[in-house]
Chains A and B, each alone.
Chain A
Amino acid sequence: MSGDRPIRIPFVPRDARACQGRAAGIVSRGLAGCIDIGVLFAMMVAAYVGWAALLFVINPPAFRPPVVPHPLAVVGGSVLLVGYLTISWITTGRTYGDQVFGLRVLDRHGRVPHLGLALARAALCTVFLLGLLWVVFSPQRRSIQDVLLRTSVVYDWHCS
């Protein structure tokens, strides 16, 4: 009797079960990346609004909408993106965009990346976004980041 064993019910539809665990292609990964870029912009807007609200609360008469220098926006956005990707990959192995398209990032052992690997991959993805295009030409559907860090992105519709 396996009373303590949890029941895992596959909720993946029949027509998608054969794809589970296979490497994802450029379209899914690219669109997932677009969603993540949208998430990044949403976070940046939220950070800006929060900062402005803080300035307003501190000194309402002297409040002016803060002007963000371009380099600061680029650096802040990059840091935010690296943090977002790293936290997403070390927790569930997927970002929000990956969640929408049923993708998951795995290391060479087929596990969710650890902190160092996720951080390095996030930095590479942020600095060299075009590395994703190598998925088109790679027989194993790997980006430059995947080749360098021996990671992979697979279809995985299962929860968590």
Chain B
Amino acid sequence: MPARPDPILNATTVAVVFVGFGVRALVELRRHRRRIAAELSELVCAMVRGAVAAVLDQLDLTDLVVERVDLDRIVGQLDLDAIVGRVDFVDIVRRAVIDIDLPEIIRESTASTVSDTVRDVRMRGIAADESVSTWIHRVLRSGRDTAMPATGPVPVAPDER
């Protein structure tokens, strides 16, 4: 007749095994606690991100802000001087004036006879200078080509600036 298992012994054995697993689990947990914490943190963050994204997809934040936020009150608390102080208006104005060629617009709108005359005189002077330079250097080059055909061409009216 086979001997009957002792229930107390079995229970003790099971308890010892569980305690052993528990101790081992605690030891493993203690050994790898940083990695486990990082993995858990990453998992929780991913879950939270997903949940927040899902919630945000269901909401119209613009409508919510318009309905529930007092924008006038927020704007009233802003330090507009500080904001304005960070903007380089001088540079903005300069670029805008140059881009739209404001001086030309002003000149055309005012139609100043004197300034138009001066501008015309100056432009004619520049054109005459160029014509004289071109003609003189052409003459000099042709003379040099006749005298010394082996030399290269004379540079045409190089400017110093």
Q: Is B60 an interface residue (CB 8 A)?
A: no
CB of B71 to closest CB in A, whole Å: 27
Cβ A155 vs Cβ B126 within 8 A: yes
CB of B25 to closest CB in A, whole Å: 63
Cβ B132 vs Cβ A10 within 8 A: no
Q: Known: A10-B103, A24-B129. Contact between A110 and B161, CB under 8 A?
A: yes
Instruction: Identify the closest chain A residue to B89 (Cβ).
Output: A1
* Interface-side segment among B6-14, B27-35, B43-51, B117-125: B117-125
Cβ A141 vs Cβ B133 within 8 A: yes
Cβ A101 vs Cβ B104 within 8 A: no
Instruction: Identify the closest chain B residue to A19 (Cβ).
Output: B126
Q: Known: A24-B129, A136-B132. Contact between A13 and B160, CB under 8 A?
A: no
Cβ B159 vs Cβ A23 within 8 A: yes
CB of B52 to closest CB in A, whole Å: 39
CB of A26 to closest CB in B, whole Å: 6
Tell me which residues across on chain A come within 8 A of B158, comparing CB atoms: 139-140
The majority secondary structure among interface residues of chain A is: loop
* Interface-side segment among B15-23, B72-80, B94-102, B145-153: B94-102
Q: Known: A1-B85, A1-B88, A136-B136. Contact between A26 and B94, CB under 8 A?
A: no
Q: Is B128 an interface residue (CB 8 A)?
A: yes
In the complex, how many residues of chain A place their beta carbon closer than 8 angstroms to a beta carbon of chain B?
37
Q: Known: A22-B159, A25-B130, A140-B158. Contact between A1 and B121, CB under 8 A?
A: no
Q: Is A126 an interface residue (CB 8 A)?
A: no
The majority secondary structure among interface residues of chain B is: helix
CB of B116 to closest CB in A, whole Å: 10
- How many angstroms from the CA of A125 to the CA of B103 in the assembled complex? 36
Mask: chain A, 80-113; 1 = CB below 8 Å from B; 0 = not: 0000000000000000000011100000001000
Q: Is A9 an interface residue (CB 8 A)?
A: yes
CB of A31 to closest CB in B, whole Å: 6
Tell me which residues across on chain A come within 8 A of B125, comparing CB atoms: 24-25, 27-28, 31, 101-102
Tell me which residues across on chain B come within 8 A of A27, comparing CB atoms: 125, 128-129, 132
Cβ B119 vs Cβ A2 within 8 A: no
Instruction: Give the B-binding residues of A (Cβ under 8 A).
Output: 1-3, 5, 7-16, 19, 21-28, 31, 100-102, 110, 136-137, 139-141, 152, 154-155, 157
